[in-house]
Structure 1
Amino acid sequence: MLNGRKRIIPALTGLALVGLIGIGPSGPAQAEPDIDDVQARVDRLFHEAEQASERFNDARIELRELNSDLRSLRADEDRQGDRLEGVRQQVERSVVRQYQGQGLSAVGQVIVSDDPQGFLAELSTMSAFDDLQDQMYGDYTAELEALDIRREATQDRAAQVAEVKEQLAEEKAEIDEKLAEAEGLLDRLEEKEREALVSRDTTRPPVSVPASGRAAAAVAYAMAQVGDAYVYGAAGPSAFDCSGLTMMAWGAAGVALPHSSSAQYSSGPQVAESDLQPGDLVFYYSPISHVGMYIGGGMIVHAANPGSGVTTAPLHSMPYVGAVRPG
């Protein structure tokens, strides 16, 4: 614990996501690492891991939406399957009435056909097909085909997202290995150098933040988490990633946000930097992969990285992209 903070320094395990830079193993025969070099490597490691984490958050959102759509399509298919069966029975009864007193071999072929397309094929061989064709049956057949296409498309999309998740899971092992190597580099530093490295971006939080309305509740929640740990994909109660913190903070104010920095960029009207107010969300990097909350005085509160945890920092401590005002 450093300076009374609650975070673990550095939390370099449990990261989920995409291939990062290689950091060579540190053997005892190698020269002592330069702190600036270690800082650059660790910073890049954290940043690329966060980019991957936010892509993973986006994939989870997409997968939930696809699964919801798929459930709706299947329910539609079941309801319309019942309708199709009703129409089928009507046509069968009409065929029987049409052919009463005649040979029923053709009728039997129609009635025993379970496949809808086979059912239509058998009807097409009967001389009375034109008289028996019903507009509702034709409309329903077309609608069923459209549903089948939509269902297949949704299943394909769900499979694509599942493949993305599988790919991310496979790459997790490589990331853990790289992070272990990074931790090895940090371990080679003297304690004072290590502490300076992992706490370099921290700033003493302000005593109070002037905010009103929903923004006041959001700011109060975020500021109460200062000192908590940074964990990729987490959204509380004691650990967060960047979008998890802002999602939970605005959730405490009654505003629902997605767990994704890029998606949160579309959560409200954009705000010019000169018009920033406490509670506004501020975004970083291109493509967007980090989000924090403005607290006034040119400062933000954010879940920074596994080394710094939830902390405050200057607004322009990272490449600034823009801001939005939720609620």
Structure 2
Amino acid sequence: MRKRFITAFSALAMATTIGLVPTTSAQAEPEISDVQARVDRLYHEAEQASERYNDAKIELDALQRDLDSLRADQERQDAELGDVREQVQDSLLRQFEGQGISAVGEVFVSDDPSAFLSQLSTMSTYDNYQDALLDDYATEVKALDIRQSATNTRLGQVSASEEKLAAEKATIDDNLAEAEGLLEDLKEEERAAILSRSSSAAPADVPDVPASGRAAAAVAYAMAQVGDSYVYGAAGPSAFDCSGLTMMAWAAAGVALPHSSSMQYSSGAAVAASDLQPGDLVFYYSPISHVGMYIGNGMIVDAANPGTGVRIAELYSMPYVGAVRPG
């Protein structure tokens, strides 16, 4: 069972004071219910961190794409600036040909675009064509400065996002290690009792509620994963976290969703609990940190936690927040 608790992709937030004091002759064995509550809390806090990790990863991916675009734009602008600079230099060479080119020598050895522009502005003998060239050059310098500033800003945001990811991953690892330690302190039969606490209904026990349209494909995919492992950050094919399961289920129906429970909450029209239909996404906790899929008759399928995996459970088995209908 160890491998089901320390996963290949752990990472996120947890309380600092949870743990068992080794028993002595003067101390009673901890109640199984107490250990269960502590393990449940560790799992939930790890899931909260995992969903924040998913959010941060989506943000980082977007920032990286934006940064790549800004860098490409800056390179294009740098090339355009070089072209205008060559035109200015050629014009000056033609103007001063045969009459003291040394007067503009410093202009041609300056690598700094702003310094180059400043040196040119001190020269007074320009015709209209040269004035236009200098205006173009000044415009290109400003455009390059804007792009360089935007690129530097994105670089700072990327760095901050990477630090956030690392912190969340460390928290997940800590939570799961502590949960494992709690379980290892129990006798085998006690551990089995805790692991079976959230045993889900077997698929055969769930009434067959027909789904229509694309929702049918999403429900079929999610139901086919019952019994698979829960792994933080996973999205198949044989292990999932909560938003990874719902994302892949709706992907099977041709609908793209983000790998984030909080972002999936904005992925469709809101649905009242009384109007739920199979395939609707149902959300839990505040702030939202868990998502499942409604399958009818007051039941959901969800990737619960490392101790339970993908299961079938009651709609109100967790603090219910709301529902949306993708597609």
Instruction: Give the TM-score, by structure 2 length.
Output: 0.91
For residues 19-30 of structure 1, what are the structure 2 equivalents within 5 Å?
19-29=14-24, 30=27
- Aligned twin of 1:231: 231
Q: Matches of 1:130 and 1:59 in 2, distance apart? A: 55
1:270 maps to which residue? 270
User: Greater shift after overlay, 301-310 or 163-172?
Assistant: 163-172
Q: Secondary structure at the match of 2:168?
A: helix
Instruction: Confirm whether residue 51 of structure 1 aligns to residue 48 of structure 2.
Output: yes
> What runs of 5+ residues in structure 2 fail to find an aligned partner?
none
The question of whether the paired residues in 2 share the 8 Å contact of 1:123 and 1:129 is answered with no
2-structure distance, mates of 1:195, 1:10: 15
Alignment of 1:200 with 2:197, yes or no, is yes
Query: Structure 2 CA distance, aligned partners of 1:317 and 1:199?
Result: 15
Deviations 1:214-269 (A, max 9, x none): 10000000000001111111111111100000011011111111111011111111
* Other-structure match for 1:115: 112
Displacement of 1:176 after TM fit?
Answer: 4.3
Paired residues of 2:12 and 2:45 also in contact (CA < 8 A):
no
Which residue identity lines up with residue 174 of structure 1 in the other structure?
Answer: D
1:77 corresponds to 2:74: yes
- Return the TM-score normalized by structure 1: 0.91
Say if 2:59 and 2:161, in contact at 8 Å, map to a contact too: yes
Aligned length: 317
Mark the CA change 1:278 to 1:170 in structure 2 (over 3 Å): closer, same or farther: closer
What is the one-letter code of the residue matched to 2:159?
A
Classify the secondary structure of the residue corresponding to 1:324: strand
Per-residue deviation, 1:9: 7.8
Give the secondary structure class of the aligned counterpart of 2:236.
coil
Aligned residues of 1:17 and 1:172 also touching (Cα < 8 A): yes
Of 96, 101, 104, the residue aligned with 1:99 is 96
Q: How many angstroms does 1:77 deviate by? A: 0.9
Offset of 1:166 from its aligned partner?
2.6
Q: Structure 1 residue 277: deviation in Å?
A: 0.7
Kept after mapping to 1: 8 A contact 2:43/2:176: no
How far residue 10 of structure 1 moved from its aligned partner, in angstroms, is 8.0
1:218 aligns with 218
Alpha-carbon distance between aligned partners in 1 of 2:218 and 2:239, rounded to the nearest angstrom? 17
Measured in 1, the distance between the counterparts of 2:173 and 2:293 equals 32
**1:124-139 to 2 correspondences below 5 Å:** 124-128=121-125, 132-134=130-132, 135-139=135-139
Equivalent position of 1:11 in the other structure: 4
Supply the distance in 2 between the matched residues of 1:109 and 1:39 (Cα, whole angstroms): 78
> 1:145 offset after TM fit, Å?
1.6
Letter in 2 for 1:78: E
| 2:303 paired residue number | 303
Cα 1:172/1:223, change in 2 over 3 Å: closer
C-alpha deviation, 1:93, in angstroms: 1.1
Distance in 2 separating the partners of 1:122 and 1:184: 75
Asked if structure 1 preserves the Cα contact closer than 8 Å seen for 2:265 and 2:323, the reply is yes
Question: In structure 1, how many angstroms separate the alpha carbons of the residues matched to 2:98 and 2:167?
Answer: 66
Residue 150 of structure 1 and its aligned partner are, at CA, apart by: 1.0
- Bigger shift: 20-29 or 154-163? 20-29
Q: Is the 8 A contact 2:43 2:175 kept in 1?
A: no
